[in-house]
Chain A
Amino acid sequence: MNRATEIIKKTELVLIIVLMLGMVCSSFLQVVFRLVLKQPLSWTEELSRYLFVWMTFIGGALVVSESGHFKMDILTVLIKGRWVQVVNIIVNVALVIFSVVLVVYGFKLVHMVYSQKTPALGITMSIPYFVLPLNGVLSIIHLIENTIDDVKILLNNQEEVA
């Protein structure tokens, strides 16, 4: 389990680096070809946009694993001891619910748009959309891992108290 999730995180990290650099190259090519070579390219904008979508949602899953999404942490100042893990678990459940919706309805959407082709690249629209359910699946994996960690801490504490 641990090894597998480490590999997933590493892959996500490499992917977002490649996607970001891809966005930079594609958008910069657009500027160079239009301003310097006076021959605008048709596909650069579309490609950058889809790389951007992919980076957002792959990165979003990685940020879930690092518990790095913006949050209001008034409560964390107020609670102590095992309540920290209890709240963490509740939060994880909330995130899983949203991720499940993304998986189920994301896949429906991927299915629905299969016959549509993107205007410039001519690929099926399912490819850019596919990252939505993928984000859901990856986030759920990370959330399960984080929840297991929280439960472990919780059980250990209980033994100490008993």
Chain B
Amino acid sequence: MGISFIILAVLCLLTVPIAYAVGLAALGGLIVAGVPLQIVAQRMFTQTDSFSLMAIPFFILAGNLMDKGGISVKLIDLSSELVGRIKGGLAMVCVVACMMFGAVSGSGAAASAAIGAVLFPAMVEKKYDKSFSTAIIATSGPLGIVVPPSIVMVVYATAANVSVGDLFLAGYIPGLLLGLGIILHCFIYAHIHNSPAGKKSSFKSFGLAFLNSIWALFLVVIIMGGILGGFFTATEASVVAVVYAMIVGKFVYKGLDRKIIIDVVAQSAKTTAAIMFCIATTNVLAWGLTSEQIISKMATAMLNISESKIIILLLINLILLVLGAILDATPAIILIVPILLPVIIKLGIDPVHFGIITTINLAIGMSTPPVGVTLFVSSSLTKTPITKVVKPMVPIWLILICILMLVTFIPQISMFLPSIF
């Protein structure tokens, strides 16, 4: 199976879609190992035939429905009441709105697209630098996968066999910290470049914005209350979110009609298919690597590098950051979690805590080249070339990596909430 890595690298560089590059890499390895090739179709089927992973299409669909239904606008209004009056407020509104959007939906790209589409024109109007604005949109979107509910956490929970509820709870404080980190950057940037403050807020206008978004925020109660109260599974919560978003979008915010709903369903189905196809072929590769015991060899090799838990954890973070930069978050998890989990358990780290570490790493990877979903989404949204966006992103990445280190080495940041519920 060693040959798989070479095939994978060559095909990815040739711009073969990642799902197929992974599949062909697995195929090459299996042929060399002399395994009957039915296993390819077999593993792809069993990986997709999963009720837990069905939370992926439902959270994507719910997120898109909420966006088109008008929920994102209400959340932006509420965010601008909260932080708008501060110097550089509009940039911070973007961060807060992305966090709120993340709290009602499960995907990062949707957050960047939904919030960015509304806020970017406003930021340009207020004379914010285009590259800076794009950078803020691209780095805020991934907060959506750290703030629960999160598609990436659902996939991790399946791969590592941990409770989705615990993982969701563990994500709140780290998600908040990351958001505050980007807000801090906006604050400093605003003072250097003398960016304007947004509109003033009054108790009355705040109350109004809160009432307007109460329908959206109530979804958090349904999803988290439902999962933590043991009423339903994450997948069931996600389908309830879909139905709720449809009803609220159609009858309360009135942004949805039949044509829009059909469009959104088709778009969400295609996004899901692309993600699931990646996961399916990755499962073939992961199976090949496990059956050849390459995974356990890699784990042993990693533990042999150093006696120190700190060094191994730093190394793992580095691997995840690189992996997050070249792969999409969901296939990255399917591929790497089986390899890293035995190492993590040997080191005495809670798999839930490790889930948060993994999610943050991959969230950072979402906004980095070469394969950063939110980077692509924001740069095409704002028509700013990626090469121009990278420079203003560097300080934000540094802040995010500092927070990642805090979360890695202080388990209580993640584990506090799951321990009290």
Contact = CB atoms under 8 A, between A and B. Distances in A.
Same complex: yes
Interface of B: 11-21, 23-24, 27, 37-38, 40-42, 44-45, 48-51, 53-54, 57-58, 61, 231-232, 235-236, 239-240, 242-243, 262, 265-266, 268-270, 272-274, 276-278, 280, 326, 328, 370-371, 373
Majority-rule SS of B interface residues: helix
A112 to B, nearest CB: 7
Contacts of B15: 71-76, 87, 91
Can you list the 7 inter-chain pairs with the closest CB atoms, starting with the nearest? A59-B273, A69-B17, A16-B269, A56-B276, A27-B239, A60-B277, A106-B41
A27 B62 CA distance: 14
A27 B273 contact: no
Contacts of B240: 28, 31
Contact of B48 (A52, A104, A106, A108): A52
Interface in A94-148: 94-95, 97-98, 101-102, 104-106, 108-109, 112, 128-129, 132-133
A104 B280 CA distance: 18
A55 B269 contact: yes
Contacts of A28: 239-240, 242-243
A72 B370 contact: yes
A69 B57 contact: no
Given A87-B14, A94-B24, A63 B277 contact: yes
Nearest to A92: B16
Contact of B51 (A45, A56, A58, A91): A45
A41 interface: no
B57 A70 contact: no
Contacts of A94: 11, 14, 16, 20-21, 24
Contacts of B276: 52, 56, 59-60
B239 A24 contact: yes
Interface residues of A, number: 56
A69 B18 contact: yes
A62 B273 contact: yes
Interface of A (DSSP majority class) = helix
Given A48-B51, A52-B48, A72 B270 contact: no
A129 B41 CA distance: 9
A109 B38 contact: yes
7 contacts: A19-B269, A23-B57, A27-B235, A53-B48, A63-B274, A91-B16, A101-B41
A139 to B, nearest CB: 9
B329 to A, nearest CB: 11
Contacts of A17: 262, 265-266, 269
Contact of B54 (A52, A73, A106): A52
B17 A71 contact: yes
B270 A16 contact: yes
The CB with the most chain A CB atoms within 10 A, among B27, B273, B274, is that of: B273
B398 to A, nearest CB: 24
A97 B24 contact: yes
Nearest to A19: B269
Contact of A20 (B38, B40, B269): B269
Contacts of A59: 269-270, 272-274, 276
A40 to B, nearest CB: 12
A7 interface: no
Given A27-B236, A52-B57, A70-B274, A75 B269 contact: no
A19 B16 CA distance: 28
Contacts of A66: 270
A106 B38 CA distance: 7
A49 B50 contact: yes
